């Protein structure tokens, strides 16, 4: 099969974090398929730029990349970012003669790209996979305070529902997407749905050296239970409750290390001016993240209350935390997954945050370590890219069997696929 993945925000390896589609694509090729990833150079998560012409084409580990030169933006919440979606789509239509796959995977965001996927389905008889990595436009209403009567919401909602109705396969990185589709008034059989979250390359996990703090910090954390947070410090990260607890707790054995940056950092630093048990480390280099996480005893994360989480999560932070092998406290009120499945932490909400911290503190250190280690083992066993790709490619082959019966025969002759049957 020829598989084309179109994802505006898929990073080129080496130019951004979490090259999920590159990792999956490499493994699709091992099954005997051809893979092309079409992406954009207008991406706040990647610094790859097209310097000459309208696109750049190249191969990395046999995965073909085409990066389209697209309108640039600086702020993620801006009109220019939305305009860059449409610019990307227009460039796809100009590029369409070179795109003739058996399967097209439209991986949102941007949601408007489903228009091009539907064009290929209707006019080129291409099988269409609609992959949802963030549930838009629900997110813009729940977390962006947009009205459901906003023209952009109405347009994106129309495209979302059209995609759900016409796709040959609907893939969610979150585990409960089918419920959202059903709640939206679209009923599709279970066989149309598949879940493929963010994974880890179990063969690429590198040994982590010890993360060394400054002498001053090393002295402060001595004999303390370290609560760590690593990531952005903004409104959507919902850290107010953590800092309220940290500033008011009488538990002297706790110390809070905050690694990251964002719009809310200065506010929280001002609140903690006289608190010696809250330390801000700034943004870490990517290669230092795992070392920092492993120096902590408890890892904290939080999400804003939102209906989006009713359908599950697929956060990079959860994967990083579990890979670190530390006990996780998640202030999260949504569809539970991963942390509860591995029994490597606790879910809590604002009403029980203090109680949850006290419960964890009372656990024997050996039990905290054992449960954290169970999280690392679970993520390596259940979310490794080898298995994620095997399950994904089986679904892709299934939707193409009627189009090309030879695919079924190829699967029988492929030892990787045989292991799945």
Q: pLDDT by residue (tens digit) across 370-405?
A: 999 999 999 999 999 999 999 999 999 999 875 555
Distance CA 25, CA 3 (A): 9
Alpha-carbon separation of residue 161 from 185, 190, 216 (angstroms):
9, 17, 55
Residues in the chain: 421
Distance CA 238, CA 224 (A): 25
Say if residues 99 and 86 touch (Cβ distance below 8 Å). Answer: no
Q: Would residue 24 be called left, alpha or beta, if left means φ above 0 and alpha means ψ between -120 and 50 degrees? A: alpha
Q: What is the pTM of this model?
A: 0.90
Q: State the pLDDT at residue 408.
A: 52
Find tokens 């990079």 and name the residue: 316
Distance CA 106, CA 4 (A): 9
Q: Would residue 125 be called left, alpha or beta, if left means φ above 0 and alpha means ψ between -120 and 50 degrees? A: left
**What tokens appear for 218 in the block?**
């090393």
Distance CA 313, CA 174 (A): 5
Distance CA 281, CA 283 (A): 7
* Residues of the chain scoring pLDDT < 50: 417-421
Residue 418, Cβ density class (10 Å: 0-12 exposed, 13-18 middle, ≥19 buried)? exposed
Say if residues 234 and 316 touch (Cβ distance below 8 Å). Answer: no
Q: State the pLDDT at residue 416.
A: 52
Distance CA 271, CA 48 (A): 38
Distance CA 176, CA 158 (A): 21
Alpha-carbon separation of residue 203 from 59, 290, 380, 385 (angstroms):
21, 16, 10, 10
**What tokens appear for 259 in the block?**
């690694």
φ and ψ at residue 384, rounded to 5 degrees: -80, 145
Distance CA 413, CA 407 (A): 10
Helices (H), 73-137: 79-94, 114-124
| pLDDT 10s digits, 197-214 | 999 998 877 777 788 899
Q: State the pLDDT at residue 104.
A: 97
Distance CA 89, CA 381 (A): 37
Q: State the pLDDT at residue 76.
A: 80
Peptide bond into 299 cis (omega under 30): no
Q: Would residue 2 be called left, alpha or beta, if left means φ above 0 and alpha means ψ between -120 and 50 degrees? A: beta
DSSP 44: T
Q: Which helix (H) or strand (E) holds 246?
A: helix 240-248
**What tokens appear for 49 in the block?**
């730029």
Find tokens 């549930």 and name the residue: 135
Q: Which helix (H) or strand (E) holds 19?
A: none
Beta strands in 110-223 (DSSP E): 127-132, 169-172, 193-195
Q: State the pLDDT at residue 420.
A: 44
3-class secondary-structure state, position 256: strand
Distance CA 32, CA 29 (A): 5
Q: State the pLDDT at residue 44.
A: 84
Edge-to-edge, what's the strand order for the sheet holding 55-60?
55-60, 63-68, 34-40, 2-6, 103-108, 127-132, 169-172, 193-195
Domains along the chain?
Answer: 2-199+384-418 (3.40.50.2000), 215-382 (3.40.50.2000)
Q: State the pLDDT at residue 298.
A: 97
Beta bridge partners of 166: none
**What tokens appear for 266 in the block?**
């200065």
State CA 4 to chain mean position distance.
20
Q: State the pLDDT at residue 371.
A: 97
């Amino acid at each position: 099969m020829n598989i084309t993945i179109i994802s505006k925000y898929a990073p080129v390896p080496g130019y951004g974090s979490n090259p999920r589609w590159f990792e999956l694509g490499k493994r699709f090729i091992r099954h005997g398929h051809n893979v092309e990833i079409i992406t954009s150079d207008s991406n706040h998560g990647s610094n790859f730029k097209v310097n000459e012409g309208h696109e750049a084409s190249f191969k990395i580990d046999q995965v073909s990349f085409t990066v389209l030169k697209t309108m640039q933006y600086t702020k993620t919440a801006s009109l220019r970012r939305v305009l860059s979606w449409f610019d990307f789509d227009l460039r796809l239509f100009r590029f369409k003669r070179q795109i003739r796959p058996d399967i097209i995977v439209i991986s949102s965001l941007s949601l408007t790209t489903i228009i091009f996927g539907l064009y290929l389905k209707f006019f080129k008889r291409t099988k269409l996979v609609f992959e949802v990595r963030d549930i838009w436009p629900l997110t813009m209403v729940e977390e962006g305070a947009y009205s459901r009567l906003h023209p952009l919401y109405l347009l994106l909602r129309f495209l979302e529902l059209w995609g759900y109705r016409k796709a040959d396969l609907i893939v969610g990185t979150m585990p409960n997407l089918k419920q959202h589709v059903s709640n939206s008034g679209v009923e599709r059989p279970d066989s149309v749905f598949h879940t493929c979250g963010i994974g880890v390359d179990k063969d690429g996990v590198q040994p982590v050296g010890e993360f060394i703090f400054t002498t001053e910090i090393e002295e402060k954390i001595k004999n303390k239970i370290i609560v760590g947070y690593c990531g952005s410090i903004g409104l959507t990260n919902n850290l107010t409750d953590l800092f309220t607890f940290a500033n008011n707790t009488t538990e002297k054995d706790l110390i809070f290390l905050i690694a990251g940056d964002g719009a809310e950092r200065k506010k929280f630093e001002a609140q903690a001016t006289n608190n010696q048990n809250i330390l801000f480390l700034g943004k870490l280099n990517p290669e230092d993240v795992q070392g920092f996480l492993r120096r902590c005893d408890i890892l904290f994360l939080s999400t804003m209350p939102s209906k989006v989480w009713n359908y599950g999560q697929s956060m990079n932070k959860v994967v990083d935390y579990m890979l670190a092998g530390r006990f996780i406290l998640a202030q999260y009120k949504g569809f539970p997954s991963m942390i509860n499945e591995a029994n490597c932490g606790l879910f809590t909400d604002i009403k029980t945050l203090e109680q949850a911290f006290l419960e964890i503190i009372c656990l024997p250190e050996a039990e905290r370590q054992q449960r954290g280690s169970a999280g690392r083992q679970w993520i390596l066993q259940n979310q490794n890219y080898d298995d994620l790709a095997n399950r994904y490619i089986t679904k892709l082959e299934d939707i193409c069997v009627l189009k090309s019966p030879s695919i079924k025969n190829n699967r029988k002759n492929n030892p990787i696929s045989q292991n799945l049957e």
